[in-house]
Amino acid sequence: MKYPFLVLLCSAIAATAQSSASSSSTDINGNRLPGVSSVSSDHQITEVSQSINGSQVPLEQASSKVLREDSNGKVVETIVRKFNQTGQLVSTERVVTEEQKRGSDTTTRTTTYRSDINGNMSQAERKVVESTTQGGVTNTQTVIERPSVNGSMQAVEKRSLVSQSAGDNNIHSDETVYRLSGNGGYYPALREITDTAKQGNQTTAKTQHYEQISGSELQLTRQSVSTVTKRPDGSEIEQVNLYGNAVPGNVRENGSPLQLFEQQIIDREKGPGDTVVQTLSVRRPTMSNPNTLGPVQKISETTCKGNCDPKKP
């Protein structure tokens, strides 16, 4: 499922100039409800939300700084502070990311430290991502470690991703996630295959999601088809069709094909001043009529000012 506000938010985190984004949702009666807002400046971003008494309280604050940068790579430290609904600090994370480049190969080591209820920091996760590119094929291997029951770090998940490009318009990627089993080995838990094709002003991405169910082989459980169409004025509209085992509330028979359970319509347009307005609407079938999409319903609206293009850091 798409989360358009997060897309705008992530681009704002990377921006050094000031950026801002505000989101609102719509209830079943069409009334507008305030959502989460964010402001970023000088490698710091703050998310705020409206509390039950109407005041603005922080939800999360992230600040980053470059500890080292040279021709071989760089080291970045990010401090993430999370708050509860009253604005009180509840946890702090320190994330240190070291990136090393060797020609077309890249190794990224990320270590996350997390505070406990007493404020003491301890190592919560280590992740190593090694990426090798030869021609149009990129092979990426990921190992994720977390503390075991005795406190030592243990590899709990491995990922293997192969991405192959055919020119500038077609990309095929295939990623398998292996997780640690009770006997100490690793089993394939998830697999995701995505084919992206660009033609003219349209980009289409088809993703198939496989899962292991009850110890069986990987089975196709979800699928999404996204089509982004760019308009001459620079705005764009995206339609995402989501398919699953069954429409929520209905039981799927074994061997039956995937069903369309949601269609998302994401419209991004230039607003007044230096803003981008992004509207999310959906169509969903009902339990009584699972084979037909219902009317369009507006879900949320996000307004971003500054760096609103997720493709431009």
Check residue 288 and give its pLDDT: 83
What distance in Å separates the CA atoms of residue 242 and residue 250, rounded to the nearest whole number? 16
Cα–Cα distance measured from residue 35 to residue 17, given in angstroms and rounded to the nearest whole number: 23
Segments making up each domain of the chain, as ranges: 4-305
We find that the CATH architecture of domain 4-305 is: Beta Barrel (2.40)
Q: What are 45's strand-pairing partners?
A: 40, 62
pLDDT in tens, 237-289: 999 999 998 666 666 566 678 999 999 999 999 888 889 999 999 999 988 88
* CB atoms closer than 10 angstroms to residue 302: 26
Q: Which two tokens stand for residue 307?
A: 């760096």
pTM given for the model = 0.82
What are the tens digits of pLDDT across the range 196-238? 999 999 999 999 999 998 777 899 999 999 999 999 998 999 9
